[in-house]
Structure 1
Amino acid sequence: MSQLPTIFLSHGSPMLALRDSPARRFLQDLGSSLGRPRAIVAVSAHWETMGAPGVSLASRPETIHDFGGFPRALFEMRYPAPGAPEAAERAAGLLEAAGIRVGRNAQRGLDHGTWVPLALMYPDADIPVAQLSVVRGADPAEHERIGRALTALRGEGVLVVGSGSLTHNLHEFRGQDLDAPAPHWVDEFAQWMKARLEANDRTALLDYRRGAPFASQNHPTEEHLLPLFVAMGAAGADARARLLHASVEHGILAMDAYAFE
């Protein structure tokens, strides 16, 4: 079986599920270009655990509407994909073999960091999906290590998807239009990340907090960038990033997506 790439997606606002945008159209085409994996392990910024990563073993994961203040139609949406407990248990075993403690969660469903992009990529909801958490307080290097432990999944037909946001400072939202231009501090950060990702400069990337321009302004907290480091690690040490999509929503949300291969 040929190796799959690993993917980092910026999932933006939950309204991505309903509202047309360049990022939405990109995701609608992405599933067919990737092909059909045996299962998906999604690392979502919206599932944080303490002390160790968690895997979801639910065989019928519920659709979690972990947001408020959006149209009723969004709350009525369901993504009834089957769970992937075998892929989740395999991921847990790989993590433990690498000396990484892991929690198992029998009930965790699919939060919007997972189901919103997957509903666009694979609308038939017929590919088994499991979630992997990010670890609150753990740094990019630890998340890259978590990803490295999962490298074998690429050759087993499992697509590892990191779902977060290349930039994510909602405190800067002032009601900007969907197509509002990015301020310089968003654009400069995105361009710095692109250059280092394409060069596979992992030393700089893992220390982005000190080296990237406006890092803390774009990520007051890190949870939305941490899935990128898991996806990067899961592709292997020599994998380079390829930019799949770049756009900005509401001026502050860079919707960039990368494949690591």
Structure 2
Amino acid sequence: MMPVLFLSHGSPTMPFDNVPARDFLMRLGSRLPRPQAILCVSAHWEAALPSITASRAPATIHDFHGFPDALYDLQYDVPGDPELAARIAAMLEAGGINALQNSERGLDHGAWSPLMLIYPQSDIPVLQLSLIQRGSPLDHIAVGRLLASLRREGILLVASGGAVHNLRAVEWNGRAAPPDWAQDFDCWLQAAIASGDLGVLADYRRQSAAAPLAHPTEEHLMPVFVALGAAAGTADKAPGRQIHASFTFGSLGMAAYAWGLD
């Protein structure tokens, strides 16, 4: 049974940044069983219907602007798995959720930036699953539940977003301490995931007073709900544990969570 992960991927410069989160990601691979394939849900791909990359050789997408040239030279040349993509789409369809396969789309930095640090050998097939555009937390939990059985096949589900993500509050000089609201939401999220109460987590905007500042938009937290669904399966709760906590650039919360990792 493979674990389920939620990782905060931070800035696109993460592969170059000398920060605790980068060090954590570089050590994480040694703690994980080797997967047969990786299914990554990134905050940076939203589609009207859940969509799965179906290329045999997914491209590295540099979906950002204004960063150092060296960042645009990075490539994460991993194999894809169109047959697995077709099977995942069929699993969602069988569960009543229409899904699409996309043979043109590659991997965005929400996928390749953390994965190249965890698995630098780039020899494990990687597929990416989109978020549902304007989908609710409960919609994404439902998607995750339908994917839970993949864990028994050696497939690692990686949800990639941000525990705290407010770009308007970022201090790019990196010297600022995280503001109170960022720390408050980070603590709330840790406790809520430890309890595993899916209803409380799905209602995070009312349950945490800091939520509107911690997530002015929802896409960077939404991957955690796919992870929660995959971890829960048919169960009512999915208790997880924090495996990393730090902040970068002041307000970017870099916490990581795992379900089923010893």
Q: CA deviation at 1:123?
A: 0.2
Q: Does 1:221 align with 2:217?
A: yes
- Residue of structure 1 in register with 2:15 after alignment: 17
C-alpha distance in 1 between matches for 2:84 and 2:129: 11
Counterpart for residue 7 of structure 1 = 5
Q: Percent identity?
A: 49
Q: Which runs of 5+ in 2 are unaligned?
A: none
Distance 2:219 2:252 in 1: 14
Partner of 2:51: 54
Find the aligned partners of 2:227 and 2:83 in 1 and give their Cα distance: 20
TM-score (norm 1): 0.96
- Cα RMSD after superposing both structures: 1.0
Deviation at 1:174, TM superposition (A): 4.1
Query: How far apart, CA to CA, are the structure 2 residues paired with 1:167 and 1:110?
Result: 22
1:1-261 equivalences in 2 (<5 Å)? 3-50=1-48, 52-177=49-174, 179-236=175-232, 237=235, 238-261=237-260
Q: Supply the distance in 1 between the matched residues of 2:185 and 2:171 (Cα, whole angstroms).
A: 20
Alpha-carbon shift at residue 251 of structure 1 (Å): 1.2
CA contact (8 A) 1:87 1:158 kept: no
Q: Letter of the 1:254 partner, please give it.
A: G
> What one-letter code is carried by the residue in structure 2 that aligns with 1:6?
V
Moved more, 248-257 or 90-99: 90-99
Distance 1:130 1:175 in 2: 31
Unaligned runs of 5+ in 1: none
Contact preservation (8 Å) 2:6, 2:223: yes
Q: Deviation per CA, 1:133-183: give whole Å up to 9, x if none.
A: 001111101101100010010000100000000111101124341x53110
* Whole-angstrom distance in 2 between the partners of 1:27 and 1:212: 28
Partner Cα distance (1:93, 1:240) in 2: 28
1:203 is paired with a residue of what secondary structure? helix
1-side partners of 2:212 and 2:89: how far apart?
32
The offset of 1:35, in angstroms, is 2.2
Q: Distance in 2 between matches of 1:110 and 1:103?
A: 16
Q: Is the 8 A contact 2:138 2:202 kept in 1?
A: yes
Farther-moved stretch of structure 1 (63-72 vs 85-94) = 85-94
What letter is aligned with 1:211? Q
Q: Secondary structure at the match of 2:35?
A: coil
TM-score by length of 2: 0.96
Q: Tell me the amino acid that sits aligned with residue 37 of structure 1.
A: P
Q: Could you tell me how far apart the structure 2 residues matched to 1:174 and 1:112 are?
A: 21
Aligned length: 257
1:97 is displaced (CA, Å) by 1.1
4+ residue stretches of structure 1 with deviation over 6 A?
none
Distance 2:137 2:212 in 1: 14
CA shift, 1:101, in A, is: 0.7
- Aligned AA (1:190): D
Tell me, what secondary structure is at the counterpart of 1:14? coil
